[in-house]
Structure 1
Amino acid sequence: MTETAPQTDTERRNLRKAFVASLSGTALEWYDFALFGAVTGSVFSKLFFDGSDPGMDMIKAFLTYGAGYIARPIGGVFFGRLGDVIGRKKVLVWTLLLIGVATFAIGLLPTYQTAGIWAPIMLVVLRFAQGVGVGGEWGGAVLLSSEFARPGTRGLWASAAQTGVPLGSFLANLLLVVMTLSMSPEAFLSWGWRVAFMLSLGLVGFGLWIRHQLEETPVFQKIMERGEAPEAPVSEVFRTQGRALLGAILVRFGPDVLYAFFAVYVITWLQTGPNPLTNQQALTATMTAGFIQVFTMPFAGWLSDRIDRRLLYAIATVLGAIWTFVFIGLEQQRSFGWAIVGVVVGLLCHSFMYAPQAAHIAEQFHARLRYTGSSLAYTFAGIFAGGLAPTMFALFWANGQNSWAIAGYIAAAAVITLIGLAMGRAVVDEVDEALLEDASA
């Protein structure tokens, strides 16, 4: 069996730094994601549009929110290419800085009352900039930790990028709950929400400090030593890695759609129907599950190193789809206790898909094209899976309050993921060595 533990103190230090650097970057990304989503309806729709039609202002605000998803493929193409040409570390400093500056700047924006039509325009531009940065962040964050790891341990260390999702969301929701409990709604609408966005600079500063201390990953150093860095990685991925790219896109559907329900839309869903829960109860359910995920993500990544990664992914995908039907069936009358249990189990299933996903997707691509391939898979799947799902859920609910259609949609996404897993390959422990020996295979 392949040796899995780092052999030197330097390797151990680099691996720990890479894990923290990866975790901090994705935590910032999802802090922004959760924060922006949470205040879109309650703040942006009221402050950044003319107020003549509140319903239309709400729609415009959520379209602004969607601009971040549309921008992600641009970031994936631009930064993914650079990551394979000039290196992982340099690009990840730029993406973190772009996300952080854009998030901080949103907290400084003038409202419609002050700047008129320029207020929503500037909001869209900054949201777009966030999306570009996020598009280039995930693929590199995964590689930053996984390419410092030894064969046989990459599932655990690559899960750093995935653990940042529940950590960032938990921090954002916790901050919002504390702020809304400690100040009046008027104060929060006036200035409190701005503080939440500007506090992101703390995560940015910490992440930049860690990333500046890191060396380039050993895998990329080896590629540069051999003179094998690609000149046109985007076109080369489409030309030579088409099956890997399509499979990597498809495997994201199940976990993305499941997360869109149990972490995002369920907050709205639980506040509808007979005996609706309060907003605070719904948030408590998702916050509890998110906090638990901070610990289950690394465990799921570790487990994927001990058993077949694709098998674990597939089992969790099937269980997640089945659990959605169980949860919806038992939660028709809206019980707070059952809501917590149901959301926790739903996101537990998500953990055992999402944590192994990082290493699985990275392993599908040749090392010299891995940043580009991973970024393209992440960003394109994000539009059609996680980005579209909340809108589809809302549509199903608006047309007859059909919760079973929601469950069916999640089941369909699970089938798509199983197809993607079947298209993928189980990569041997010496994945990087094998790929580098024959980059054209």
Structure 2
Amino acid sequence: MTSVLDPVRTAVDRRRVFAATIIGTTIEWYDFFIYATASGVVLAPLFFAPAGRQVAVLVAFASSGIGFLFRPLGAFIAGHLGDRVGRRPVLVGTLILMGVATTAVGLLPTYHQIGLAAPVLLLVLRVLQGLSAGGEWGGAVLLAVEHAPVRRRGFFGTAPQIGVPLGLLLASGALGLMSVLAPGDAFLAWGWRVPFLASVVLIAVGHYVRRRVGESPVFTELAARKKVTSRPIAALFRTHAPLVLVVALVMAGTNGPSYMIPGGFLQQYVTDPDTGIGLELSPVLAAVTFSSLVWLATTWIAGTLSDRVGRRRMFMIGWAVQAVAVLALFPLVNTGEIALFLLAICLLNGATGITMGPMSSFFAELFPSSIRASGISISYAVGAVLGGAFAPLIAQWLLRTTGTSGAITVYLVLLTAVGLAATAVLRDRTGIALGADAGAEEALPFVGRRGTPAQS
């Protein structure tokens, strides 16, 4: 029987999938990052002020991390549905949920207006964002990767990854623009709300684009051959629990250091009067916006190169660059020079791009087709909890406890080492068959196991 992966797909179809994936994930991550970027500089004084300035910042970062805690639940739900009913319907649902939650944050009264109800409602909306983000990534990845020709799978896999730095670029750019248009008290009074409210327009665009994209050919094939798994999550943990853990550790290794920027810690750190660095918010947000372009470029380049050099090798290069970036981060940032701050975050975002570029195809090629949506969604979400969820909070706590940024550097180096070790035990399976006919090689994701990955 001829696989549905084999028919010639027009360039228009593939471009539509690529564009729809980028647009959808950009909007999703814009919504998720706008909260994190605003947490230390906006949400802390407006929603958690009674706790005192320093504690309010800690609580604001913790509230941002709560969204990560609910990403695994979102991944469980979306992964199950993605393996049962298809990848596309899940993506439409997560997009709408994220947009509603983000727009509602922009309408939310502050603590001074409605008291304790304000932070409680804010946390509820962050939970909804977390559920949506947990379900978004896996479906977007599979829609892109499972449509791709085998020799360009890494390139197509950059589509959902590019959406992450684009989301950060839009989030920091929108807040930066409003800090200029509504400076000082006006920014805290109403200016910060505009980027949140803009989500309603972006969601309408994303919904239109995603509705025009066809279902993943792999899922279509599984459904046609009646190979859809009725209990994909149970099957995943029965047969691939160690793989889920290892992939989650890979994710944690890159997500923790990278989240120093979109998580809002570095923006808070360099503008906080107590640190003595003394940078102004507007140029800092402009620098973050520019560094997002570096992240975008390295993501695209690394994902594309992985089709030639292999996913695992690309990751190893990324870990080496990340180690250099985290060691150089605070020596550069602590100078108080905006140019060196820009250099530091460009290095860190560049390193993130090298590991995130091949991540989609690397993770997708590790799991069997019938449980792939559950496998990559849950691994990614659990890794995000272990890595980025509370990285800004941990960094802030280490800073307050030790009084120095050196402890944060040690923390980031340890996360990098964990990611490197986890990658080292995984097999490079670049080009492995992804469809329903893929056979026993799918059970060989670890180095040292017998067998050679089949090339499709």
TM over 0.5: yes
Matches within 5 A, 1:15-94: 15-48=14-47, 51=50, 53-94=52-93
Distance 1:421 1:104, change over 3 A: same
Alignment-derived partner of residue 287 in structure 1: 289
Q: Which runs of 5+ in 1 are unaligned?
A: none
Letter in 1 for 2:400: A
Letter in 2 for 1:67: I
Residue 260 of structure 1 deviates from its aligned partner by 2.0
In 2, the alpha carbon distance for the partners of 1:57 and 1:265 equals 13
Distance 1:177 1:262, change over 3 A: closer
Alignment-derived partner of residue 265 in structure 2: 265
| Stretch of structure 1 that moved more, 326-335 or 256-265 | 326-335
Distance 1:333 1:187, change over 3 A: closer
Letter in 1 for 2:420: L
Counterpart of 1:243 in 2: which secondary structure? helix
- Tell me, yes or no, if structure 1 residue 121 matches structure 2 residue 120: yes
| Deviations, residues 238-297 of structure 1 (Å, cap 9, x unaligned) | 111123212211111221122123554332344465654333333233221112222322
Letter in 2 for 1:290: S
Counterpart of 1:84 in 2: which secondary structure? helix
Distance 1:129 1:287, change over 3 A: same
Alignment-derived partner of residue 319 in structure 1: 321
Matches within 5 A, 1:3-402: 8=8, 10-48=9-47, 51=50, 53-263=52-262, 264-271=264-271, 273=275, 275-402=277-404
Letter in 2 for 1:404: G
In 2, the alpha carbon distance for the partners of 1:98 and 1:439 equals 37
Residue 440 of structure 1 deviates from its aligned partner by 8.3
- Contact 1:252–1:378 under 8 Å retained in 2: yes
Q: Which runs of 5+ in 2 are unaligned?
A: 444-456
Distance 1:402 1:127, change over 3 A: same
In 2, the alpha carbon distance for the partners of 1:124 and 1:139 equals 24
Distance 1:348 1:225, change over 3 A: same
Counterpart of 1:19 in 2: which secondary structure? helix
Counterpart of 2:227 in 1: which secondary structure? coil
| Stretch of structure 1 that moved more, 411-420 or 269-278 | 269-278
Distance 1:342 1:58, change over 3 A: closer
Counterpart of 2:389 in 1: which secondary structure? coil
- Contact 1:320–1:349 under 8 Å retained in 2: yes
- Contact 1:68–1:130 under 8 Å retained in 2: yes
| Deviations, residues 320-371 of structure 1 (Å, cap 9, x unaligned) | 1123223434554333222222221221111111111111111111011111
In 1, the alpha carbon distance for the partners of 2:10 and 2:246 equals 32
In 2, the alpha carbon distance for the partners of 1:212 and 1:333 equals 49
- Contact 2:40–2:265 under 8 Å retained in 1: no
In 2, the alpha carbon distance for the partners of 1:348 and 1:282 equals 17
Distance 1:334 1:62, change over 3 A: closer
In 2, the alpha carbon distance for the partners of 1:94 and 1:352 equals 30
In 2, the alpha carbon distance for the partners of 1:249 and 1:106 equals 30
In 1, the alpha carbon distance for the partners of 2:437 and 2:412 equals 35
Residue 59 of structure 1 deviates from its aligned partner by 4.2
Letter in 2 for 1:187: A
Alignment-derived partner of residue 416 in structure 2: 414
Residue 131 of structure 1 deviates from its aligned partner by 0.7
| Stretch of structure 1 that moved more, 382-391 or 137-146 | 382-391
- Contact 2:310–2:430 under 8 Å retained in 1: no
- Contact 1:31–1:169 under 8 Å retained in 2: yes
In 1, the alpha carbon distance for the partners of 2:333 and 2:53 equals 31
In 1, the alpha carbon distance for the partners of 2:442 and 2:362 equals 20
Counterpart of 2:10 in 1: which secondary structure? helix
Letter in 1 for 2:14: L
Q: Aligned-residue CA RMSD in angstroms?
A: 2.4
Distance 1:403 1:304, change over 3 A: same
In 1, the alpha carbon distance for the partners of 2:80 and 2:291 equals 35
| Deviations, residues 27-63 of structure 1 (Å, cap 9, x unaligned) | 1222123211233234333444574755554444333
In 1, the alpha carbon distance for the partners of 2:228 and 2:62 equals 39
- Contact 1:254–1:414 under 8 Å retained in 2: yes
In 2, the alpha carbon distance for the partners of 1:98 and 1:361 equals 25
| Stretch of structure 1 that moved more, 299-308 or 187-196 | 187-196
In 2, the alpha carbon distance for the partners of 1:107 and 1:367 equals 40
Residue 199 of structure 1 deviates from its aligned partner by 0.5
| Stretch of structure 1 that moved more, 294-303 or 46-55 | 46-55
Residue 425 of structure 1 deviates from its aligned partner by 2.1
Percentage identity across aligned positions?
Answer: 32
Distance 1:282 1:207, change over 3 A: same
In 1, the alpha carbon distance for the partners of 2:401 and 2:48 equals 28
Q: TM-score under structure 1 normalisation? A: 0.91
| Stretch of structure 1 that moved more, 296-305 or 15-24 | 15-24
In 1, the alpha carbon distance for the partners of 2:372 and 2:189 equals 45
In 1, the alpha carbon distance for the partners of 2:424 and 2:305 equals 20
Residue 99 of structure 1 deviates from its aligned partner by 0.5
In 2, the alpha carbon distance for the partners of 1:440 and 1:363 equals 8
Residue 435 of structure 1 deviates from its aligned partner by 5.6
Count of residue pairs brought into register by the alignment: 436
- Contact 1:244–1:423 under 8 Å retained in 2: no
